């Protein structure tokens, strides 16, 4: 039909939206009046403060401490705005002290979590001093915790005691924990007798594993063995959780129809965690007191093991038996350790594997590779994910000269336990044995990230870098090692050799001198220093080193004495040099080198008669030497020719220089 200006009834071009609660409607006059109401505005501001508190607590729970602190500060600003608004609207008598306390406490706690201790202490102090918050005295516990973390233990004890005085007797658990904190802080200050009194008052209330453990440690420091026995016995009497039968969990009457173990719900998980922690404390306590509570080591361990077995701590008793064997090992009583470990071969599979691992290690130390390999294979068979057993097996292969097979086993151990440093280190040694230096260097550097101060690893990196020809890199790692091991003569000499290779004589001289200072009897270092000074024409400094070398290396005494004589010649002490040469000749009349030097020296001094005498001796020595080697010049149709005085005089200087530049005088 034709278009008109009249629309159909109820028609709108926008359409309608689904809004059953009529939220899109305009505000009514009543609602507008509520928004102008001061009490309504106060409630809205309180809601905003509560929202910021919840966001801050949530961020802190998720570990986002910086965000939590910002939210806590924002909540504080809004809370102050709320208080100001109340004062302006005449509602100051309706102050919400609980909300103010929550905001201030949350701000202090977030400061504490961000390790801003000064700000946290200031915030807590303001709350504690305010009479507006009667419950604020309990925050002295938080202040004590901060002082404890700052190692201000005296202030921590003071705060804990003030908090204890302000905590009602009805809060038994809170008072118990505060008293335990007081005892621990007293231990930190060294007041063990006061700590004992604090823990004994706790034990009188209720026996707790933590309190009993700390009391036992205090008695151990004070040397009271009888008290240690009593305290350990009380610790074992505390009820422990058994997942198979426990009275804290109501019996499930349908358990007869269930196949398999109980499901680990949150309650059982919590009980498991608590019992594991208790077991750790008991085991640590047993290891502390076992060596001292008896008249001997064996008696003390036997008493502890028997007590653990009586109280149904069978697993911990086995642990102590293993620890007893290891104690014999530390005392180098190998036979007794082996006998104790062999007893585990008849026990549970896990214990068999651990005992076999230790036995393999013991036999390996004794050099019994057959038994070491046998027990290592047994340990791997019982538990193929035992990294220590795999390392022992690889060690046996390595010592048998099969580094390739050892490498594969070490790789397996590293795959099973990436944190097993022994497997990685031995893998690097296997690569080094196989001349795979790139792989060895990579493995050793990987270990250095985990153990940056380990001297063996630093040395291996430096040595492998040296073998690969990277002297500068080797120097870098070995100098780092020298900063930790300052008196290793071999290491200092190694650095000296590296600097010689890099043609840095000053650094080489420094490290060789340090090596000689640490170990003066190293003939190689002594000879290098003497030769260095000889080359640099510092003859007075060279002579003491050659004299020392002649004493510490008597097999080449002639060589060193000749160099001493050469130094005397170079300093112009010809008479002393001649006397030295004659002493050498008297002790070794067949030494051709000494005779040769005497000929040249006497020629230089113009002693013709002595020159002829020494020439005759030199000719006879040469003839005897040729006769012994079967290579006499006569067999070649040549007659021996004597060297005359004039010819010696004309060529003496050239021959003398040739002798001086022999390899014996170059730096080693």
Q: Which domains does the chain have, with CATH numbers?
A: 520-665 (1.25.40.10)
For residue 193, count CB atoms less than 10 angstroms from its CB and return exposed for 0-12, middle for 13-18, buried for 19 or more: exposed
The lowest-confidence range among 253-262, 354-363, 400-409, 528-537 is 253-262
pLDDT at residue 12, rounded to an integer: 57
pLDDT at residue 633, rounded to an integer: 40
**What confidence tier does 40 reach under pLDDT thresholds 50, 70, 90?**
confident
**What is the mean pLDDT of the segment spanning 260-282?**
79
Q: Which of 345, 404, 400 is nearest to 375 (CA)?
A: 345
Name all contacts of 149-155 with Cβ < 8 Å and 24+ positions apart: 149/117, 150/117, 151/188, 153/185, 153/186, 153/188, 153/189, 154/189
**What is the mean pLDDT of the segment spanning 191-206?**
88
Residues 161 and 181: beta-carbon distance below 8 Å: no
**What confidence tier does 634 reach under pLDDT thresholds 50, 70, 90?**
very low
pLDDT at residue 25, rounded to an integer: 54
**What is the mean pLDDT of the segment spanning 595-620?**
75
**Residues 459, 477: Cα–Cα separation, whole Å:** 7
**What is the mean pLDDT of the segment spanning 182-189?**
92
**Residues 59, 611: Cα–Cα separation, whole Å:** 100
| Positive/negative CA dihedral, 192, 198, 200, 202 | negative
Higher per-residue confidence, 327 vs 409? 409
91-95, 316-320, 413-417, 621-625, range with greatest mean pLDDT: 413-417
Phi-psi region of 537 (alpha: psi -120 to 50; beta: other; left: phi over 0): left
Q: What is the mean pLDDT of the chain?
A: 80
Residues 445 and 419: beta-carbon distance below 8 Å: no
For residue 353, count CB atoms less than 10 angstroms from its CB and return exposed for 0-12, middle for 13-18, buried for 19 or more: buried
**Residues 539, 93: Cα–Cα separation, whole Å:** 100
**What confidence tier does 648 reach under pLDDT thresholds 50, 70, 90?**
very low
Q: Is the pLDDT of residue 426 over 90?
A: yes
Q: Is the pLDDT of residue 616 over 60?
A: yes
**Residues 212, 586: Cα–Cα separation, whole Å:** 83
The lowest-confidence range among 11-20, 198-207, 626-635 is 626-635
Residues 604 and 574: beta-carbon distance below 8 Å: yes
Residue whose token pair is 């008293």 = 179
> pLDDT tens-digit profile of 229-247?
999 998 888 876 555 555 4
Q: Is the pLDDT of residue 645 over 50?
A: no
427 phi, psi to nearest 5 deg: -65, -40
Higher per-residue confidence, 318 vs 344? 318
pLDDT at residue 169, rounded to an integer: 87
Q: Is the pLDDT of residue 623 over 70?
A: yes
Cβ-based neighbours of 605, under 8 Å, separated by 6 or more: 574, 578
Q: Is the pLDDT of residue 565 over 90?
A: no
Retrieve residue 74's tokens: 């924002």
| Positive/negative CA dihedral, 434, 438, 440, 443 | negative
| Positive/negative CA dihedral, 188, 193, 197, 200 | positive
**What is the mean pLDDT of the segment spanning 4-25?**
58
> pLDDT tens-digit profile of 444-491?
999 999 888 899 999 999 999 999 989 999 999 999 999 988 888 999
7-11, 169-173, 321-325, 493-497, range with greatest mean pLDDT: 493-497
The lowest-confidence range among 19-28, 278-287, 417-426, 655-664 is 655-664
Tell me which DSSP letter residue 11 carries: -
**Torsion angle (degrees, nearest 10) of CA 461, 465, 466, 472:** -110
**What confidence tier does 260 reach under pLDDT thresholds 50, 70, 90?**
very low
Q: Is the pLDDT of residue 122 over 90?
A: yes
**What confidence tier does 19 reach under pLDDT thresholds 50, 70, 90?**
low
The lowest-confidence range among 26-40, 165-179, 301-315, 557-571 is 26-40
Tell me which DSSP letter residue 526 carries: H
pLDDT at residue 639, rounded to an integer: 35
% of the chain surpassing 70 pLDDT: 83
pLDDT at residue 657, rounded to an integer: 39
**What confidence tier does 259 reach under pLDDT thresholds 50, 70, 90?**
very low
Q: Is the pLDDT of residue 255 over 50?
A: no
Tell me which DSSP letter residue 662 carries: S
**What confidence tier does 394 reach under pLDDT thresholds 50, 70, 90?**
very high
Q: Is the pLDDT of residue 157 over 90?
A: yes
**What is the mean pLDDT of the segment spanning 258-287?**
78
Enumerate the H helices of 434-488 as residue ranges: 437-450, 455-467, 471-482
Q: Is the pLDDT of residue 226 over 50?
A: yes
Q: Which of 261, 233, 266, 257 is nearest to 245 (CA)?
A: 261
Q: Is the pLDDT of residue 439 over 90?
A: yes
Retrieve residue 61's tokens: 């729970």
**What confidence tier does 432 reach under pLDDT thresholds 50, 70, 90?**
very high
Q: Is the pLDDT of residue 398 over 90?
A: yes
pLDDT at residue 584, rounded to an integer: 79
**Residues 93, 56: Cα–Cα separation, whole Å:** 28
**Residues 8, 13: Cα–Cα separation, whole Å:** 11
Q: Which of 427, 421, 417 is nearest to 395 (CA)?
A: 427
Q: Is the pLDDT of residue 22 over 70?
A: no
**What is the mean pLDDT of the segment spanning 382-387?**
84
pLDDT at residue 162, rounded to an integer: 92
Q: Which of 174, 167, 304 is nearest to 235 (CA)?
A: 304
């Amino acid at each position: 039909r034709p278009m008109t200006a009249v629309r159909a009834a109820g028609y709108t071009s926008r359409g309608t939206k689904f809004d059953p609660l009529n939220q899109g409607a305009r505000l009514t006059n009543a609602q507008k009046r509520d928004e102008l109401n001061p009490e309504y505005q106060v409630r809205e501001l309180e809601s905003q403060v509560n929202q910021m508190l919840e966001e801050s607590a949530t961020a802190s729970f998720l570990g986002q401490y910086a965000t939590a602190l910002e939210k806590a500060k924002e909540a504080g600003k809004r809370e102050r705005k709320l208080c100001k608004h109340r004062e302006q609207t005449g509602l100051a008598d309706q102050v919400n002290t609980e909300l103010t306390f929550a905001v201030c406490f949350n701000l202090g706690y977030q400061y504490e979590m961000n390790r801003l201790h000064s700000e946290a202490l200031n915030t807590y102090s303001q709350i504690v001093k305010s009479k507006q918050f009667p419950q604020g005295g309990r925050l002295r516990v938080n202040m004590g915790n901060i002082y404890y973390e700052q190692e201000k233990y005296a202030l921590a004890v003071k705060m804990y005691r003030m908090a204890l005085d302000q905590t009602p007797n009805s809060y038994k658990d809170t008072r118990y924990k505060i008293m335990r904190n007081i005892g621990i802080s007293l231990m930190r200050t060294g007041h063990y007798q006061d700590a004992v009194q604090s823990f004994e008052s706790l034990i009188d209330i209720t026996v707790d594993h933590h309190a009993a453990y700390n009391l036992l440690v205090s008695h151990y420091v004070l040397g009271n063995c009888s008290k240690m026995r009593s305290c350990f016995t009380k610790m074992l009497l505390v009820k422990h959780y058994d997942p198979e039968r426990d009275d804290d969990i109501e019996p499930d009457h349908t358990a007869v129809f269930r196949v398999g173990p109980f499901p680990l719900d949150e309650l059982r998980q919590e009980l498991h965690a608590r019992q594991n922690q208790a077991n750790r404390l008991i085991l640590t306590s047993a290891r502390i007191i076992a060596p001292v509570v008896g008249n001997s080591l064996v008696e003390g361990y036997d008493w502890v093991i028997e007590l653990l077995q009586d109280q149904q701590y069978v697993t911990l008793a086995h642990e102590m038996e293993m620890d007893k064997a290891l104690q014999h090992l530390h005392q180098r009583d190998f036979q007794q350790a082996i006998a104790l470990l062999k007893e585990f071969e008849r026990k549970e599979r896990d214990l068999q594997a651990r005992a076999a691992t230790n036995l393999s290690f013991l036999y390996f130390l004794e050099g019994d590779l057959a038994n070491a390999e046998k027990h290592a294979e047994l340990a791997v068979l019982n538990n193929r994910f035992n990294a220590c057993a795999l390392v022992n097996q690889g060690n046996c292969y390595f010592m048998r000269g099969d580094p390739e097979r050892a490498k594969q086993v070490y790789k397996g151990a590293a795959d099973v336990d990436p944190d097993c440093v022994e497997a990685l280190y031995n893998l690097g040694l296997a690569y080094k044995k196989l001349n795979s230096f790139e792989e060895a260097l990579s493995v050793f550097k990987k270990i250095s990230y985990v153990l940056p101060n380990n001297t063996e690893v630093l040395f291996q990196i430096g040595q492998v870098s040296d073998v690969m020809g990277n002297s500068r890199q080797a120097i870098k790692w070995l100098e780092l090692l020298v900063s930790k091991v300052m008196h290793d003569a071999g290491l200092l000499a190694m650095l000296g050799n590296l600097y010689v290779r890099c043609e840095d004589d000053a650094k080489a001289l420094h490290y060789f001198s340090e090596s000689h200072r640490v170990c003066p009897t190293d003939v190689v270092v002594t000879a290098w220093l003497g030769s260095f000074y000889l080359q640099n024409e510092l003859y007075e400094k060279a002579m003491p080193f050659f004299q020392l070398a002649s004493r510490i290396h008597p097999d080449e005494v002639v060589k060193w004495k000749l160099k001493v004589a050469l130094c005397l010649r170079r300093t112009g002490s010809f008479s002393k040099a001649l006397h030295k040469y004659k002493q050498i000749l008297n002790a070794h009349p067949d030494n051709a080198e000494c005779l040769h030097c005497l000929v040249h020296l006497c020629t230089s001094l113009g002693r013709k008669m002595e020159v002829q005498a020494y020439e005759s001796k030199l000719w006879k020595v040469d003839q005897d030497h040729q006769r012994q080697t079967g290579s006499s010049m006569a067999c070649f149709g040549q007659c021996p020719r004597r060297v005359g005085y004039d010819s010696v005089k004309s060529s003496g200087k050239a021959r003398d220089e040739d002798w001086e530049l022999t390899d014996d005088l170059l730096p080693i």
